[in-house]
Copies of this chain bind each other. A is one copy, B any other.
Amino acid sequence: MSATSVGVAVDVVPLGLRDWSLHAALVPVGTTSRFAFPGGRVPPEESLDGAARRWLAHHLPRKDAFVEQLYAFGEPGRDPSSRVVSVAYLALVPRTEDAHGVQWFPCDAMPPLAYDHGAVAEKALERLRAKLSYTNVAFGLLEDPFTLADLQRTYESILGRELDRRNFRKKVLGLGLVVPIGKRRHGPHPPADLFRFAERRLVAMEIG
């Protein structure tokens, strides 16, 4: 990149649940002990969304991830020859599975991050928390089928507060966020009704 131009990159923040705690996928940066989100330059023939999906797929080969643009970052650095604007993306992956050297870290205990990826992570969490409250975006974190307790734990974990079980059930059923599949899960004690999301596309709905 010459000193008179600005490059474009994408960075993807892959988030997922592990043991009902939100984790982020990171890759080690060079020889340092720092980590960064997957991403890289956008070639001229590729769309931003395409580049984000490509980088996500490279590290976490899932076809069904929810991907959404977050924000364009990139203050001018000290060295003008390396000026890059990075378009950050949020990606939700239903199960936290590894591939190609990514490591999952709890979002409340992330390792030192390279570049401005601290701010990127902030933005991603903020966006996820907000969307959880007024959309059905939780479908990106949970595979069908699931119990209402699973869904509630998902919400509680990300919102950081406990929810009333009965009010939660009334809310998500009343809104039509989830629908019963007519089966039950048998586990350690009493069987629980199984559900799936009514829609697996982003839909706005006022949830608590």
Contacts and interface: CB of A to CB of B under 8 A. Distances in A.
A85 interface: yes
A176 interface: no
Given A5-B5, A8-B6, A85-B8, A48 B74 contact: yes
Nearest to A204: B130
A122 interface: no
Contacts of A48: 72, 74, 85
Interface string A86-111: 01000000000000000000000000
Given A45-B83, A69-B71, 7 more contacts: A1-B5, A6-B42, A8-B85, A47-B74, A72-B72, A72-B87, A85-B87
A76 interface: yes
A74 B46 CA distance: 10
Q: Which of A72, A74, A75, A76 has its CB near the most chain B CB atoms (within 10 A)?
A: A72
Interface in A32-76: 42-48, 69, 71-72, 74-76
Contacts of A112: none
Given A72-B69, A72-B87, A85-B8, A3 B80 contact: no
Contacts of A1: 5
